[in-house]
Amino acid sequence: MNNLIKLLNPVTINQWNLKNRIVMAPLTRGFANDEDGTVTEEMVAYYEQRARDGVGLIITEGVNPNLAGKGTYGIPGLYTEAQTVSWKKVTEAVHRHGGTIIAQLWHVGRLSHSDLIGGTPQAPSSIQAEGKVHKLHKPYQVPEAMSIQDIQDTIQHFQNAARNAVLAGFDGIELHAAHGYLMDQFINEKTNHRTDEYGGGIQERLRFLKEIILAVKKEISVDRISIRFSEKKDDDPSFAWTDKAAMIDAYLNLFRETGITILHPSTDRYTTAWAGEKTFHEVIRQQWEHTIIGVGNLDARAAEEALNEGIIHLAAFGRPFIANSDLVHRLHAGEPLVEYDVNKHLPVLI
């Protein structure tokens, strides 16, 4: 077992009885049916293989709550009956092997293109992102600023997606409020120049996320909801919060107010100092009494150390799961891992 006692032993997190503390991080693969957003047999095989190997918790690739949320090719949805039914094949396969799986709900906002969604992308404000759309290789378009009705409709779409996640057999959901996507676009003052109740101060900018949490809670118990959030932005690598402490306070106060107990703070590298000598996760742990999922290019040793120190409760691995469908077995056996190679592994399914 190579002394990975904490990492490989079973654990109970709220209503989830997990085989171990290993989490399969959300990994965009682009293997869904691009025409209708339904799950393919290749996706079923992909998730089932990881569940068969014994991973504790699977967080799916980002799943769209509506067509406007789509940011590249081959992204699955949870907004039609056909999509919902197709996901049942995945959840049933995972559950056959005693696994636990939650759906990550993901709306990219302005980081989309009319070629993908058939209309102008929407965002809190009409501010164009820098760079090009993933796989489409076209510059981001100037988005349309969302009206109050657009906002309310989108919140309802998230609620409907949460309801469909339950119908599809998922054990929970994760809200992707990180990396510069729609929820994060509302939170970030650089992308939100609104002057109504959804813009201005941090409390107003957090309102969109708050109302989504309150909406999805109507469909699934709050102790089955994880929130992914981050300082880092995929479209703005140099971005940093002006007041780190105030932002963390604002987030954590919101999560306490809404009853959230599972956080998935996202950073490129878990071990990198973020505020003084402390890492992003360490800063959050100082103020957060509930579950934290660690992520950020973790290896098994670093994960075990963080678990033993009580900084995190679960450890998420991304690329190692693409390169090693039998990652859990290899960790149990002390076998070396296959190193991830984008050219070799990105198109590889099993």
181 assigned to active site: yes
Closest CA to 248 of 292, 193, 314, 303: 292
For 125, residues 6+ apart whose C-beta sits below 8 A from its C-beta are 143, 145, 191, 192, 193, 194, 199
- Beta strands at 278-279 and 273-275: parallel, antiparallel or unpaired: antiparallel
Torsion angle defined by CA atoms of residues 320, 324, 326 and 330, in that order, rounded to the nearest 10 degrees: -70
How many angstroms separate the CA atoms of 35 and 73, rounded? 9
What the block records as the tokens of 316 is: 């998420």
- The pair of structure tokens assigned to 28 is 């965009």
Q: Is residue 171 packed enough to be buried (19+ CB in 10 Å), middle (13-18) or exposed (0-12)?
A: buried
Selecting among 46, 47, 140, 181, the annotated active-site residue is: 181
DSSP 8-class letter at 150: H
Are 173 and 218 in contact by the 8 Å Cβ rule? The answer is no
Count CB atoms within 10 A of the CB of residue 270: 24
16-55 core/surface letters (b: 16 or more CB in 10 A; e: else): bebbbbbbbbbbebebbbbeebbbbeebbbbbbbbbbbbb
- For residues 294 and 312, the answer to whether their CB atoms sit within 8 Å is yes
**Residue 130 burial by CB count (10 A; 0-12/13-18/19+): exposed, middle or buried?**
exposed
Catalytic residue ranges:
181
